[in-house]
Structure formats: structure tokens, C-alpha cells
Structure 1
Amino acid sequence: MIRTLDALLDRTIVPGYTRAGYHLRKICWTREDPAEDALRGRTALVTGAGSGIGAATAARLAALGASTVLAVRDLGRGERARREILDAVPGAEVHLVRCDVAEPDSIDACAGALGDDFGTLDILVHNAGVLPGERAENSRGHELTLATHVLGPLRLTARLVPLLAGSGDARVVFVASGGMYAQPLPVGDPEYRRGEYRGATAYARSKRIQVAMTPLLDQRLADQRISVQSMHPGWVRTPGLISALPRFGNAIRPALRTAEQGADTTVWLTATTPAPISGHFWHDRRIRREHYLPYTRYPEEELLSLWHYCLGAAGVRAA
């Protein structure tokens, strides 16, 4: 009965991605919650942690005992988030580092600073996101959503491999989006140079790439005991969603999940023991299908072609 309800929620989308879906599934989770000190002695880095799901994720990781690093583009916003976490979790160890994940130089500086300050890194959450109104590029000429959601995380992960490998049980999580279900893999135009540019479409396309590349990155890092997952948080009320998609956000405002609810699966993936099976796409603590529409499927050679393009564009050596 429970599995049937879960499958129905997943396929019907609207109720499954809302707070109602979260609460219905949560009934089954009591014994799955991580222990109160599950992350004691571990170090976590969360990108885009200045607000929304990123801030909620960082707060929960800190509450579970992790030494938590907020990687943010805006240090002022990051400092406010850090203080809010310290107020909510007295005695927490919370650090701040600047990182614009769309910019390679900023990524390299961030990784260098982390290498100076920490011996190991146990958790890396790729949460930072953008949804531009018009097509924009980073300093290297790459479309902004691709740079932020795909190229930057690939580069940051690669630069942090020495720290992650020292963990023995490092966990990398990509915060994707259910919006990717409507988009095929943009093999022929990853930089979105053709056609009318739509920010929501660019966002969803780059999230499709994240999910498609999760098992490839997991295989690449498996020998160093670094696991890679992707997940989607459902429809969450965040400042980014309300500002980027005001009509959508306002239309379903009462049904939107809180940032804490959106962060739940990410936290669970990083804190539960034993570690979940890696290389998969998750929602509400369960592995989910990557395709529901036939036109989003792709042959393996197309995925590998895009994978190698993205590695090169990110400045990461192919294995």
C-alpha cells in the first residue's frame, strides 16, 4: 500500500512534489532518520548556502555535528546565514568561504583555501543555482546555467578530490530539479546558442545534465571511496524561485515545501548509515526514475560525448 502510494505521488507530480507529498511519505521515515550526532567529526561544504535550500541544508548538517562550510558568492549574505545557524545551533562549528561556482578562478581559490584549512572533506553538496532572465556567459564564454550547475561543480569536485579521498566515506550530492523531466539531454547545443533563450528551459536542461552525469562521476571517483548522488527537492518556497518564477510561485504558494523539507533528502543522503547505494537520482529518500517521457531518453554515446565536452569545458582532465 505504501509503495503504491509513493509511486502514485511520483507519477502525478503535483501532489508528490508539494508539502503534502513530503508529509505523506514522511510517515514511513521514522526509523530512517540519522542519529542526532551522525556527523560528529565530519566536515561538510555546501555551495549556495547563503539562503534557501542551501542555508537549510547547512543548518541541518551543523545540527548533526558536522563542521560546516558555507560556500557563497556574496560574503555579506553568507555571514548572515552563518550567524542564523549559530543562533539556532549553539556551539556549532560554521565557516565561510567565498566561491562563485560559475567562475573557474573563484573555484580554484576556494579549493585552495579549503586545502589550507582542512585536512579532509567528507561531504560536498552542489546546491548553488541560477535562473537568468536572459542568456549570459561566465568569464570563459560558457552559458551561465551550464557553468553554474555543471562545469563549476565538475571543476570544484576535481579540485577537492585530495580532501574528499582522505575521508574514506566521502559523499557528493547534486541538488537537481524535477523540471529536468521535461527536457532531453542538450547534446547538440549544450551552451544554448540556438533558438529563443528561456531561463527556465536552460535551468532544466542543465539539471538534466547533472542527473545524467551522476553515475559517470560516481564511477570516476569510486576507487577513492567518493560516492556521488543527485536528488530533487520538490517544489520549494525559496527566494530564488519566487523571484525567478513569480507566477508559478504565487499560484501554488500554499503547497510549496519549506526549505527544510527541500533539504531533507540531501541531508539524509549525507548522514544516513550505511551509505545509500551510489550513482542514483533521489527524491524523498527513494531512488527515482530518470525518465518519464520517451523523447528525453538518449543513447550512451550521446551522453559520453556531452560528458567529455563538459569535462573539457570545466578544465578537468578526462580519466
Structure 2
Amino acid sequence: MIAIGGKNDASFEPSFVDALLDRAILPGYSRVGIALRRRGWSSADPAPDALRGQRAVITGANSGIGLAMADGLAALGASVVLAVRSTRRGEDAAAGLRRRHPGGTVTVVECDVAEPDSVRRCAAALGETPIDVLVHNAGVLPARRQENSTGHELTLATHVLGPLLLTELVRPLLAAAHGARVVLMSSGGMYAQPLLTDDPDYRRGEYRGARAYARTKRMQVALTPLLAAELADERTWVHAVHPGWVDTPGIADALPRFRRVTRPLLRTPAGGADTAIWLAATARPVPSGRFWHDRRVRPLHLRRGTRYTEAEAAALWRDCRVMIGVPEST
């Protein structure tokens, strides 16, 4: 754990009742949980113009949580870049955001996070303007095992390798912001999975999309402290976020039965985006390298069988850097 900008604040730890909500899963992850927790949040944080003059880049921002984040960051004054696989859908989303925020700046850049060449083109297209906020939101939940052009399993490429590569490529732009914030959108599903360092590409066993999704979300959370340490000297903060159960087009497509059963309790995309927006804009010094849900730091494990060692996380970090072609830092 690394604190950037100030000491770690105990107020970021959940209360006993708050923690119980999460242990019970349904109340903590649903719209009930965020409604109860909002009562303890300051309405003045973040300030209405907290991101005025800043630039935010969001992957997977065509719809759902990503679009809600773009909307929320634009409302706080940020110039927003939608880094999306489909530029047509991206332009449609951007047009809607411009109508909602007249005078704001919303642009679109093509970025298929699963494909290294697309990520490199995206990084080049972002130019030389500093990046104050980088949100890795793009996600997939495939029904069958698929690989990207370099032979890596699709959820690994999308949730782990692509975000690491894009962060590395725009690292100078983050450093130039003098206090940039990188947010990885994870999932509470990661609590059910261990950290598999010997088969990150899911080549063994029967493939299940939901399991692959959760495994790679576990990897995101395990690597967050290491990425935070890597970027600490450049005053770039790194956070992983669990958005709760959110009613999004992705959930409707990938988990229709789950959505049908839980829909009355699902959060809106804005509710799922709230903590990521808050981390991007809060004036409070928050600890870097942690896992967040509803504006509080959350534990990394709820089950004994998911625990891993620092050496295992470090081994995965090294392997991932090899996979994206980035040399080990000295």
C-alpha cells in the first residue's frame, strides 16, 4: 500500500455495518448498499469544477459504466476522450455527451484494448497533452475461449495486458500531469477466484467465460499495488474499483439469467461509476494501490482459498510485462 499526497486516512476503511453489507453480498453490491452509504458522503466532494482544465481518457466508454463515467467526469469540467473499439458507436456517445455538456470537449479515439497494435495506435493518437485521469473500463465476458492476434486469451488481453500496455505507453503523459490517477474497473466476482500464476491464458480445464472474467479481475486487483509502486515516483495514483452489481448492456448480453433475477436490485450505471469518478476528482489524499467499493477501501479476500503471496503477485507482474514487451524496471 502506498500513500500519495498524504497519510493514509482511517476514514477510508469501512465501518462494521458497512463491512457486514458486503459480507452479505446482495445488500452491499446492490442499489440498497450505495443508497445507505451515500448518507455518509460529503456532498461537497468532489467540487463541481474539480476537473476543470484536466483531461480524462476512458476505455470502453460507448455505453454502461464507461459512458456514465464519461458523463460524470465531463460534468466536473474534464475534457473527455472516449477510447473505444467502435468509433461509430463512440461518436454517437460523444454527440450525446456534448448535448448534455455544452461547451465541453469530448473526443473519440479508436482503441481495441485486447489488441496491442490498436493500443499502440491509440497511445500515439493521444498526442502530447498530459493525461490527468486514465480509466481502464473496457471489459469482455466471452461465451467461449477466444484469443487475440498475439495468442493471448481474450479476457486476459482485455482486462490485464491491454491496460498495462496502455498505461506504460502513456506514462510520460501521466507523469506530466503531476498527480494523475489511473483507475482499473474490477469486479466483486474476483472474490471467488484465486490468483492463477501458472495458467494466466486459461489453457487448462473446461473454459467458462464467467470464471475467466473473474480470474482476470483478480489479476487486476493483485497487480494494482505493483503498478502503484512502479508509478509512485511519478506521482501517479493507481486504484482498482469494484462497481457493485450494475444494470448494463454487457450484463444483459453475457448474463441474461442473472439480470432477470436481480434486475430490481441492480444499480444504475451512474451508481456503478460513482467511486471511480470520486477517486478521479476528490481533493482528499487517498492511498494508492488499494481496492475500493463505494468510496471505501475493501479487503482483497473474503475466502481463505483465494489468498496468494507477494512473490506470486510479483511473478505474475513480471510475466505480464514480458507478455506486453516491456522490460523489467530497474
Shared fold by TM > 0.5?
Answer: yes
Q: Distance in 1 between matches of 2:176 and 2:150?
A: 31
Alignment match, 1:313: 323
Question: Contact (CA 8 Å) 1:269, 1:275: kept in 2 or not?
Answer: no
Counterpart CA distance in 1 for 2:326 and 2:145 is 24
Partner of 1:144: 154
* Whole-angstrom distance in 2 between the partners of 1:191 and 1:212: 16
In structure 2, what residue type is equivalent to 1:7? A
**Contact 1:236/1:257 (8 A) holds in 2:** yes
Contact 2:194 2:218 in 1 (8 A): yes
Aligned letter for 1:272? Answer: T
The TM-score with structure 2 as length reference comes to 0.94
TM-score (norm 1): 0.97
Query: How far apart, CA to CA, are the structure 2 residues paired with 1:16 and 1:64?
Result: 27
One-letter identity of the residue aligned with 2:149? S
Which residue number corresponds to residue 214 of structure 1? 224
Partners of 1:26 and 1:318 lie apart in 2 by 42
User: Which of 110, 129, 139 does residue 98 from structure 1 map onto?
Assistant: 110
Identity between Structure 1 and Structure 2 (%)? 59
1:298 alignment partner, SS class:
coil
Partner of 2:4: none
Runs of 4+ in 1 over 6 A off after TM superposition: none
1:178 to 165, 185, 188: 188
Residue of 283, 288, 293 corresponding to 1:278: 288
Give the drift of 1:309: 0.8
Q: 2:251 aligns with which of 216, 238, 241?
A: 241
Distance apart, 1:32 and its partner CA: 5.5
Which residue identity lines up with residue 38 of structure 1 in the other structure?
Answer: A
Note the C-alpha offset of 1:304: 1.3
How far does the alpha carbon of each residue in 1:175-210 deviate from its partner, in whole angstroms, 9 at most, with x for none?
000000000001111000000000000000000000
The answer on whether the counterparts of 2:45 and 2:283 sit within 8 Å (CA) in structure 1 is: no
Structure 1 SS opposite 2:244: coil
Unaligned runs of 5+ in 1: none
**Which sections of structure 2, spanning at least 5 residues, go unmatched?**
1-13
Distance in 1 (CA, whole Å) between partners of 2:198 and 2:44 is 42
What's the RMSD between the two structures over aligned residues?
A: 1.0
Q: Residue 70 of structure 2 corresponds to which residue in structure 1?
A: 58
Identify the match of residue 20 of structure 1 among 32, 38, 48.
Answer: 32
Partners of 1:175 and 1:142 in 2: CA distance: 20
* One-letter amino acid of the counterpart of residue 122, structure 1: D
Q: Which has the higher contact order (CA 8 A, sep 6+)?
A: 2
Q: Distance between the aligned counterparts of 1:151 and 1:161, measured in 2?
A: 15
The letter for the 2-side match of 1:19 is R
SS of corresponding position for 1:130? coil
Q: Secondary structure at the match of 1:91?
A: coil
